[in-house]
Amino acid sequence: GEDVEQSLFLSVREGDSSVINCTYTDSSSTYLYWYKQEPGAGLQLLTYIFSNMDMKQDQRLTVLLNKKDKHLSLRIADTQTGDSAIYFCAAKGLSGGYNKLIFGAGTRLAVHP
């Protein structure tokens, strides 16, 4: 089945760019997602990209997809302290007849002054 992997921790200085990386194994994944989770809260959908695209930009967020390498990244420009959270990468694919999201373990982003 699908396996999604992410690095567990990233620390950046306020104002710098953050890049969170993710790899997945199922080349038939149709959509790839980035979610943000703050402590004690649910997941907030940040953005998603269709598998036939290689880039998507939305304000401070840029998603890059390398389908050949099955590598996804999320770049956050001008990172702020409010961006401190856990970021989950997820891949959607057919499994057991249903479209399911398979999540990575999450990357904890710490932003320091």
Chain residues that interact with another protein, rule: CB under 8 A: 30-31, 33, 35, 40-45, 48, 50, 88, 92, 96-106
85 or 102: CB nearest another protein: 102
Distance separating alpha carbons of residues 102 and 100, to the nearest angstrom: 6
3-state secondary structure 1-50: CCCEEECCEEEEECCCCEEEEEEECCCCCCEEEEEEECCCCCEEEEEEEE
Q: How far is 69 from 9, CA to CA, in rounded Å?
A: 22
* Residues in the chain, total: 113
Is the Cβ–Cβ distance between 50 and 57 less than 8 Å? no
CB of 100 to another protein, least distance (A): 6
**Would you say 75 or 100 has its CB closer to another protein?**
100
Query: Nearer to another protein by C-beta: 33 or 111?
Result: 33
Closest separation in Å from C-beta 1 to another protein: 10
CB of 15 to another protein, least distance (A): 27
Residue 105 CB, nearest approach to another protein (Å):
5
**Residue 9 or 13 with smaller CB distance to another protein:** 9
